[in-house]
Chains A and B, each alone.
Chain A
Amino acid sequence: MRAVEASGLRGRGGSGFPTARKMSAVAQGGRRPVVVANGTEGEPASAKDKLLLQSAPHLVLDGMVLAAEAVGARRAIICVEETARRAWLSVEAAIDERRAIGLDPIGIELAASPSGYVVGEESALVHWLNGGPAKPTFVPPRPFEKGVGGRPTLVQNVETLAHLALLARFGPDWFREIGTPGHTGSTLITMSGEVARPGVYEIAPGTSIAHTIASSGGAADDVRAVLVGGYAGRWLDAEHSLRLGLSDDQLRPVGASLGAGVVVVLSRRGCGLAETTRIARYLAGESSGQCGPCVNGLAAIARALDQVHRGEGGPDTLATLQRWATDVAGRGACHHPDGAARMVASALEVFSADVDWHGRHRRCWAEPVRPDLVSSAPPRSR
């Protein structure tokens, strides 16, 4: 645990929470903890967790066993979406191999979790493991206090656990050799949108956005904006941001974070409003339907955005949109509405010229981006 702290490892699932702090909270919970490896990847623009499970399952399983030993857990469960066939089969085979030679002091359970945007949210996953629906619960208590079977539960993203396994092998100094002071160790990111070679890349945190786009084959046309952090992330305009480094500490000053390591590229051919409308509609549809502000707010936001995009919104539509984006933030049981609101608010800022243009000309000038940004995520490993 001391090595984890010295390494500066932070969660790779989206929140970027210091791993050591989470581990020690769980270890001090009083009861024997449970370790859960979170391999659900609800974000459609992300593919790194599935790729990792498919190509290096033992690394993740090593990390789980190490984490279990560190916090004193005797139960470890790995959750993989049942629809991620290849990842699932690969993990299953790896568990069998380990069992056959008696490698691990504890047995590892494999759970086939449902798919969905909010399923991977910690409390939703724990709720589901406890026999409930895979929907977030109202916290506190948080899973680290009272999780699976009422025990303190360490939920860690699978990439985080893979890093844990590597740093156990090579030490915290080795781990810190790559990255920035606030974002140590290498990071997996999924590049999508209008780049020549969409896919999963391992980068050193701090690598510029421009460089990362070049490494993924370059953009289809002049880059206009990038969506950083996933569908609940933030749009950044190309002019001011392509030189920014992809790391949480370098993105924080512009209000962004790497999230689960997602970058979506929009070129000059596309329309930011059209893509944002599509994403907002998707996010509204992924609400787990439990909280009024999320259910009503996100649907209303998506409808209003559609109006603005079609040039049918009046001058107050925009003001209403901004008010709603502020209103829904922080009012769900989970952070789903916050992320959606952040994404929409950033789009209204970055694409403000388009908003004017659409309002005046009552149409969209852009060629539809093909394939749609929303569905152009790299092929899922199914």
Chain B
Amino acid sequence: MMETAGRRRNMRLVVNPITCEGHGLCAELLPEWVRLDDWGYPIVNPDPVPPELKDHARRAVAACPTLALLVRLD
């Protein structure tokens, strides 16, 4: 029970705007969920990441060179 409840938590992506350097790697790896603004900084879809994108999202988080892309569970 506990485990399934844990798995059902929403996964959202957030950016730490202070450490983000606008490399844009996240938008390349996860174009379905991240786009770049006119200055190359990521605009992340605030909705819960759909199940089929979760693995891609985790990969993008791991690839961010400044660890600015974060997963938040709620």
Contacts and interface: CB of A to CB of B under 8 A. Distances in A.
Interface of A: 137-138, 290-294, 296-297, 300, 324, 327-328, 331-333
B22 A292 contact: yes
Contact of B37 (A137, A290, A327, A333): A327
Contact of B17 (A294, A300, A324, A327): A294
A339 to B, nearest CB: 15
B38 A300 contact: yes
In this complex, the member of A137, A292, A297 whose beta carbon has the largest number of chain B beta carbons within 10 angstroms is: A292
B16 A138 contact: yes
B18 A293 contact: no
A328 B40 CA distance: 12
Given A297-B37, A300-B38, A331 B18 contact: no
Nearest to A296: B39
Contacts of A296: 38-39, 41
Contacts of B15: 331
Contacts of A327: 37-38, 43
Interface in B13-30: 15-22
Contact of A333 (B17, B22, B38, B40): B17
A290 B43 contact: no
Contact of A291 (B18, B38, B40, B43): B18
Contacts of B17: 138, 290-294, 331-333
A331 to B, nearest CB: 6
Contacts of A332: 17
B51 to A, nearest CB: 25
Nearest to A323: B38
Chain A binding surface, main DSSP class: helix
Contacts of B19: 138
CB-CB nearest 3 A-B residue pairs: A291-B17, A292-B41, A296-B39
9 contacts: A138-B16, A138-B19, A291-B17, A291-B18, A292-B40, A324-B38, A331-B37, A332-B17, A333-B16
Given A327-B43, A331-B43, A138 B18 contact: yes
A332 B20 CA distance: 11
Contacts of B37: 293, 297, 327-328, 331
Nearest to A324: B38
Contacts of A138: 16-19
B38 A137 contact: no
Contacts of A324: 38
B63 to A, nearest CB: 18
B68 to A, nearest CB: 9
Contacts of A300: 38-39
A294 B22 CA distance: 13
Contacts of B43: 327, 331
A293 B16 contact: no
A311 B17 CA distance: 34
A270 B19 CA distance: 41
Contact of A290 (B18, B22, B41): B18
Nearest to B15: A331
A292 B16 CA distance: 11
A137 B19 CA distance: 10
Nearest to B39: A296
A333 to B, nearest CB: 5
A137 B18 contact: yes
